[in-house]
Structure 1
Amino acid sequence: MTVTFRPATVADLMPVGALHQRSRVAAYSSFLPAEALAEPTEQAMGGYWVERWAWERDDHRMTVAERDGRLIGFSYLGPDDEGDPTTGLLNAIHLEPAERGRGTGRALMSDALAAMRARGWSGAVLWVLRDNTPARRFYERGGWSATGAARDERIGPAYVPQLRYARPL
């Protein structure tokens, strides 16, 4: 029952997309309407990752987490979306819903932060949905703090406020 991490391959992207959609539904259903989470389908989310990876694979890193050879989570990081060359952006940590609370998310975050340090970045940022209280607590326990910056993200028909968090590396 050991969790292992490895760099994602093209073959992982469709399963990552399906996991991503399941994770979103489980994490956001308490504060987003069902119609906001009905799309994209798991297949469409896989297609999103295939296309995104084609454009970003040179300067981004996806790590998959597996337990006994089965995909259970992933992280995705890259350069800061606001152009700060000293800062990395943690784009995503998503888990199979049954993995929440088992330490896999913390391990993925530690791995991502180490990868950011290895790239020479001195700070890290991320965006988290304002109403995703469990995720905000998770990041705050990991040393992240809200910066005061906010933006809205569209999820289906809903506009959802996001907060920017940061931490030193």
Structure 2
Amino acid sequence: MTEADIDAVAAVRVRGWQAAYRGLMPQAYLDAMSVAADAERRRSWFGRRPPEVSDLVAERDGEIVGWISVGPARDPGLTPEPTAAPAADRPAGEVYALYLSPGVIGTGVGRSLLAAGTARARASGFRTLYLWVLRDNARARRFYERAGFVPDGAEEAYEVGGSSVPEVRYWRPLGPGPR
């Protein structure tokens, strides 16, 4: 992803939320989402993101149709395996976001993006990858489970549009790879 991709990524994210979270989040919130406002937030963040964060896009026929962001795990104390003691030489990573244009869901674009993000995380030295997914998002949960992710038992409420939306945390080991 380059800075020139930000507007297209914002459109993918907003349209992705509106399609994937229909019935899972307040509809008024989803309807009020703005591509321009999302692009502005993303542009501000893009310039100051840590170097160990990777943002990758998927293109089809010259159009950005997907985006993944991976980097160091944001939850303090996450370990290479949920039951292991912390290990400084085996840091945990996180999938911060994975969104697709609604028209490419189910076409393999998501699998390709997740594979590329996982490879980037492994190359960055992460030995485990975590992610948060809406508890009631059965389609996304099946997708991540097919990719080897499993729930680790953590759950938290995500406030959106005045409603509490529960999320569950998933993880998967990445194994050794180049540093």
TM-score w.r.t. structure 1 length?
Answer: 0.91
Distance 2:74 2:94 in 1: 7
Structure 1 residue 57, shift from structure 2 partner? 4.6
Looking at structure 1, the residues matched to 172 and 104 of structure 2 have their Cα atoms a distance apart, in angstroms, of 25
Structure 1 residues 129-148: aligned runs within 5 Å = 129-148=134-153
Aligned equivalent of 1:154, options 150, 159, 167: 159
User: Which of these residues, 26, 46, 52, is aligned with residue 19 of structure 2?
Assistant: 26
Retained in 2: the 8 A contact 1:17–1:46? yes
Q: Structure 1: which 4+ aligned runs deviate by more than 3 Å?
A: none
1:102 alignment partner, one of 96, 104, 107: 107
**Structure 1 residue 82 displacement after superposition:** 1.8
In the other structure, the counterpart of 2:36 is 43
Decide which structure has the larger Cα Rg and report it.
2
**Where does residue 83 of structure 2 map in the other structure?**
none
Name the amino acid aligned to 1:120.
G
Q: Any stretches of 5+ residues in structure 2 without a counterpart?
A: 79-87, 175-179
Which residue in the other structure is 1:66 paired with?
A: 59
**Structure 1 unmatched ranges of 5 or more:** 1-7
Equivalent residues of 2:26, 2:161 under 8 A apart:
no
Cα distance between partner residues in 2 of 1:51 and 1:160: 26
Q: CA 1:158–1:55 in structure 2 vs 1: closer, same or farther (change >3 Å)? A: farther
Identity of aligned residues (%): 36
Query: Is this contact kept in 2: 1:36–1:158, CA < 8 A?
Result: no
Q: Which structure's residues are more often strand, by fraction? A: 1
Q: Which amino acid aligns with 1:95?
A: L
Match of 2:127 in 1: 122
Asked if the contact 1:125/1:167 (under 8 Å) is kept, the reply is: yes
> TM-score, length-normalised on structure 2?
0.86
Pairs aligned (count): 162
Residues 122-149 of structure 1 deviation map (CA, whole Å, 9 limit, x = unaligned): 1000000111110001000100000111
Q: Distance in 2 between matches of 1:157 and 1:38?
A: 14
